[in-house]
Amino acid sequence: MDLSWMGWTQPTAIFFATIGSLLVIMTVWNILSPQTPRVGILRFETTRGDRLFISLLGSAFICLIWLGLVGSPLWGALVVCVVFAACVFRWV
């Protein structure tokens, strides 16, 4: 099967491997320690999976805004995304 049309580059492969790894880690974490919803600053119940989704979605917007305002490279945006995800998992 020829997948050259997809433009797989090393950063793309790392991105998808990271997302896949996060899903596996969250699944194992959920099996070992079942999750209980909690109410954070958004004032509705969220689980770890919800917080992962919020952090990934927010990170996508952070990267898009970074590209629009600053341009590449995205290393600064990556730092902002990691801080954002840590805040989401802590307080949301």
For the chain (92 residues), the mean pLDDT of every run of 10, in chain order, is 71 86 92 89 89 94 94 91 95 91
Please check whether residue 66 lies inside any domain of the structure. yes
Q: What's the one-letter identity of residue 81?
A: C
Please check whether residue 58 lies inside any domain of the structure. yes
Predicted pLDDT at 2: 67
Predicted pLDDT at 3: 62
Please check whether residue 1 lies inside any domain of the structure. no
- Residue 53 contacts residue 23 (beta carbons within 8 Å): no
Predicted pLDDT at 14: 85
Q: Coil, helix or strand for 20?
A: helix
Please check whether residue 82 lies inside any domain of the structure. yes
Give the residue numbers spanning the domain of 76: 11-35+42-91
60 vs 79: CA distance, rounded Å = 13
Please check whether residue 6 lies inside any domain of the structure. no
Predicted pLDDT at 91: 93
Predicted pLDDT at 52: 92
Which residues have C-beta within 8 Å of that of residue 1, sequence separation ≥ 6?
none
pLDDT in tens, 25-45: 999 998 998 888 999 998 889
Predicted pLDDT at 60: 94
Predicted pLDDT at 1: 60
Please check whether residue 21 lies inside any domain of the structure. yes
Q: Residue 32 belongs to what H/E stretch?
A: helix 10-32
Please check whether residue 4 lies inside any domain of the structure. no
Please check whether residue 3 lies inside any domain of the structure. no
Count of structural domains within the chain: 1
23 vs 21: CA distance, rounded Å = 5
